[in-house]
Every structure is written in structure tokens, then in C-alpha cells.
């Protein structure tokens, strides 16, 4: 079976009250459209087709990593019109799965089950029972054959009796290209919105004696659509709850799971402990026996086994080695690599630097654009002065260097192996191995001084 997926993403999203396109609003750190694309890709389709409004075509550049056939719906004439735009690019005998970009929690396993359910049917519709069905199209089943849908009635067109129906249309439809072409060609826009509703193909199919069958999903959360910020927040909470439960079942210890947030793809090893108010963003990997203390943010980083990240620490786009101690109140800025047993203490900032094993910077320090060797001790208040107002420059500190407190290293500079720098020094020149560097004004004493 050659499967093609159509994702409808051209909706205006007026109820979001935002200049950001509706499908670009994020759930769990990813846009709603990307969530749907990820689920679609897992089905291994021949093509993924996304229908956009010309007004939001600028979002295409955000999805360069996906193989997408983009289609433009110049006028918002309804869902049937959106699907009709794509069909000419597909072969008549191929299968089509229609999805929506505003259902970010859609599950690929459910979609696979739906595709393979009752293969002899002409059209399949995924449905769900909702206790609060307002806004959803209602499923009208045949009285004689409950496994056949006779029509789908939109909320705006439903009477009071139909509005009491709990079974709702998710909008997800499976059929073949030739059938969809035949049905959509007969869809009219004689409704209150003057739109061409895709749901009208159900009643048209019945008139043609075609079999339209529903798959009633027991899972409701994964099928919820997002039309406003309230539903966006509800969907975010479901997403977070799902992730928390997943990691708790995997054995992760959380002090307060409701205060831990996952905004990307996170991988966590064994015996990991996470305290309260922690945020993971982007691609994050935690090794075994990692401890993440309270009020910490980790973004696009790897934290290797045995490392402790203490409270109020931020780590971005970096690699932290095994058995390190980071924080509290530390900031690891992008492009840092910390090797095994590195210590970065309170109010220390590291940026675009490589720090080798057993090196310590425990207090009030800035290390930027630096290569630092093994067993280096960086005293309190040390600054690598990497920026001259125009360009950034490199500081190289080799193995076994001791840097006294309140010293400044004016880059570009190389501090050779075994050098000791006296506290309060401003180092401007390269040095020889195993030297003692003292670069400070000589103290003067004026006896019997009077103000």
C-alpha cells in the first residue's frame, strides 16, 4: 500500500489572538505542526503534503529537516477545498490519510491501527467520545448498522438533539485518491459559513452506496485539537503529564514531578534524581546517577553519569563529563565541553570553552573562549578578558596551572604548564613553563599619613 499523508495547516487561527501562525504555537517546546509531522513520518509514507495559506508560507524554512510537499490554499474555502488542492499530485490508486496540524498529541500507533482497521471500507473516519463536544462535528450513525456512519453534522449546522451526541469527528480520514476525488467533486458550500466541508463526503458516500466506517478511539487526549490559548494550555499540561509518567515508570526519581517540565526530546538514564522546578529544553541526555537540583534549566546538553548539577544553574548547548560538580548559581553558556571531574562553582560563568579533567573554578569567575588543561585551579574573581571591543580572542591555559584570585588574563594569551599566577595579577604576555607570574603594582606605605 502506497500511503500519502495530507496535513491541513492553512487555518487562520483567529481565536489564538496572535501574530504567530496558529500551527507554530508550541507544545512541549515544538510547534504543533512539527508534532504532527513527527507522528506522520513514523508511518513511513510515500509523501507528506502540507497545505498552507500564502500568508504563512514563511514558516517553511522552519522545517528544512523534513521531506515535505508544500501546497498553497490561496483562499480559505474549507477543508474539502484544501484536500482537493493536493489530490492532483497523487496517483489515483494510492491511499490518503488526512491529518490536522492543530492536533499536536496525535499518536502514530493509533493512526497505524486506524489505517489497518476494516480494510474493505471505502472511507474511514476516526471518532472519539467527548463529554464536552462543543465545537466538534457530531457522528450520525445508521440505525440499522451501527458500524456505518450516515453523515457528520457540524456544530454550526446541528440541531439541539444532534448537539447532545457525544461521538465526535476528529477530522482524521482515510481513503484512496480516486474515491476522494469522486466525493469531493460533489461537495457544495450551501452552509452557514459558505465553506466546502470535507465532512460532507460522508453523506455523499452513503448516497453512492459506499461504506463509511468509524473507528471509535478510547483515547481522547491524543485527539484534542487546539483552537485557542486555553486549549493550548490544556494540551501542554497533557503533554507534560505524559512525559512525567513515562519517566517515573522508567525509574526516574522526582521530588515534585508537577514542577518538572519537558520542552523537547529528553533521554534519562538509571538512578537519576530530579528536584523541584527543573526545565529541560531541546535535546537533553542525562546519564546514570545524575542529580539535578532545584531551579535548574538544561537546554540542548549532555550531562554525563555521576554529575551533580546544583540549584539555580543554567546549562546550554554543552557537554558535561562524568562526575562533575556544577553550581550552585553557575551558568554554562553554549559550546562548552567539560571533561571528567570538573568543578564549576557558585557565580561562575563559562562560555565557548573546553575544560579538561580535574580542573576547578569554584567562585565568582568568567571563563570565555578558553582552552583549559587538566588539574588547573582557578581562584575566585578570575576573568579571561576575551573581548577587545571588536574581536574575541582565545585564552589557552595548560595543565597544572594555579591562578590566584582576582587575576585577569588578557587574551590572546598562552599560560604554559605548571605556571603559578599570583593573586591580583593582570597577565598580558605569554610565559614559560613552571614560572611564577606576579603582575601587580608594588604596595606603598606612607607612614603617619593624615587626611
Residues annotated as part of the active site:
363
For 398, which DSSP code? -
- Per the omega criterion (within 30 degrees of 0), is the bond before 348 cis? no
Question: Taking Cα atoms as reference points, which of 134, 215, 145 lies closest to residue 173?
Answer: 215
Through-space distance between the first and last CA atoms of the chain, rounded to whole angstroms:
95
Contact 118, 25 (CB under 8 A): no
Instruction: Tell me, rounded to whole angstroms, the distance of Cα 93 from its chain centroid.
Output: 36
Q: What is the 3-state secondary structure (H, E, C) of the chain?
A: CCEEEEEECCCCCHHHCCCCCHHHCEECCEEHHHHHHHHHHCCCCCEEEEEECHHHHHHHHHHCCCCCEEEECCCCCCHHHHHHHHHHHCCCCCEEEEEECCCCCCCHHHHHHHHCCCCCCCEEEEEEECCCCCCCCEEEECCCCCCCEEEEECHHHCCHHHHCCCEEEEEEEEEEHHHHHHHHCCCCCCCCCCCCCHHHHHHHHHHCCCCEEEEEECCCHHHCCCCCHHHHHHHHHHHHHHHHHHHHHCCCEECCHHHEEEEEEEEECCCCEECCCEEEEEEEEECCCCEECCCEEEECCEECCCCEECCCCEEECCEECCCCEECCCCEECCCCEECCCCEEEEEEEEECCEECCCCEEEEEEEEECEEECCCCEECCCCEEECECCCCECCEEECCCCEECCCCEEECCEEECCCCEECCCCEECCCCCCCCEECCCCCCCCCCCCCC
Instruction: Tell me, rounded to whole angstroms, the distance of Cα 444 from its chain centroid.
Output: 60
Quote the Cα angle for 104-38-336, to 5°: 105
Give the H/E segment covering residue 266: strand 260-268
Amino acid at each position: 500500500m502506497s500511503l500519502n499523508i495530507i496535513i491541513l495547516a492553512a487555518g487562520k487561527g483567529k481565536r489564538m489572538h496572535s501574530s504567530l501562525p496558529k500551527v507554530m504555537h508550541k507544545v512541549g517546546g515544538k510547534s504543533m505542526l512539527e508534532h504532527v509531522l513527527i507522528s506522520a513520518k513514523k508511518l513511513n509514507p510515500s509523501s507528506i503534503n502540507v497545505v498552507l495559506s500564502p500568508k504563512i508560507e514563511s514558516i517553511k524554512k522552519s522545517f528544512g529537516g523534513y521531506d515535505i510537499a508544500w501546497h498553497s490554499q490561496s483562499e480559505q474555502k474549507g477543508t474539502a477545498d484544501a484536500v482537493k488542492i493536493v489530490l492532483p499530485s497523487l496517483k489515483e490508486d494510492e491511499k490518503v490519510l488526512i491529518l490536522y496540524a492543530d492536533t499536536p498529541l496525535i499518536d502514530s500507533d493509533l493512526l497505524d491501527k486506524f489505517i489497518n482497521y476494516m480494510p474493505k471500507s471505502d472511507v474511514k473516519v476516526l471518532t472519539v467520545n467527548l463529554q464536552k463536544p462543543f465545537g466538534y462535528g457530531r457522528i450520525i450513525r445508521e440505525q440499522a448498522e451501527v458500524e456505518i456512519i450516515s453523515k457528520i453534522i457540524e456544530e454550526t449546522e446541528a440541531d439541539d438533539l444532534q448537539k447532545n451526541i457525544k461521538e465526535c469527528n476528529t477530522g482524521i480520514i482515510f481513503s484512496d485518491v480516486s474515491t476522494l476525488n469522486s466525493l469531493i467533486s460533489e461537495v457544495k458550500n450551501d452552509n452557514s459559513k459558505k465553506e466546502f466541508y470535507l465532512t460532507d463526503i460522508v453523506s455523499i458516500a452513503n448516497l453512492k452506496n459506499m461504506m463509511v466506517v468509524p473507528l471509535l478511539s478510547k483515547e481522547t487526549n491524543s485527539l484534542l485539537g487546539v483552537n485557542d490559548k486555553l486549549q493550548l494550555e490544556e494540551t501542554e499540561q497533557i503533554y507534560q503529564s505524559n512525559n512525567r509518567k513515562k519517566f517515573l515508570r522508567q525509574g526516574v526519581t522526582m521530588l515534585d514531578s508537577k514542577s518538572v517540565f519537558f520542552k523537547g526530546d529528553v533521554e534519562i538514564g538509571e538512578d537519576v534524581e530530579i528536584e523541584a522546578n527543573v526545565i529541560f529544553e531541546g535535546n537533553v541526555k542525562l546519564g546514570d546517577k545524575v542529580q539535578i537540583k532545584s531551579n535548574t534549566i538544561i537546554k540542548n546538553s549532555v550531562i554525563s553519569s555521576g554529575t551533580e548539577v546544583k540549584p539555580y544553574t543554567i546549562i546550554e548547548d554543552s557537554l558535561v563529563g562524568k562526575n562533575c560538580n556544577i553550581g550552585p548559581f553557575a551558568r554554562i553558556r553554549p559550546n562548552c565541553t567539560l571533561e571528567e571531574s570538573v568543578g564549576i562553582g557558585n557565580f561562575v560563568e563559562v562560555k565557548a570553552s573546553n575544560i579538561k579533567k580535574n580542573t576547578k573554578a569554584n567562585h565568582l569567575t568568567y571563563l570565555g573562549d578558553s582552552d583549559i588543561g587538566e588539574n588547573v585551579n582557578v581562584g575566585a574573581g578570575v576573568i579571561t578578558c576575551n573581548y577587545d571591543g571588536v574581536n574575541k580572542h582565545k585564552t589557552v591555559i595548560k595543565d597544572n596551572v594555579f591562578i590566584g584570585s582576582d587575576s585577569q588574563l588578557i587574551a590572546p594569551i598562552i599560560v604554559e604548564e605548571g605556571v603559578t599566577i599570583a593573586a591580583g595579577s593582570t597577565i598580558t604576555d605569554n610565559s614559560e613553563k613552571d614560572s611564577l607570574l606576579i603582575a601587580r603594582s608594588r604596595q606603598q606605605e606612607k607612614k603617619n599619613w593624615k587626611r
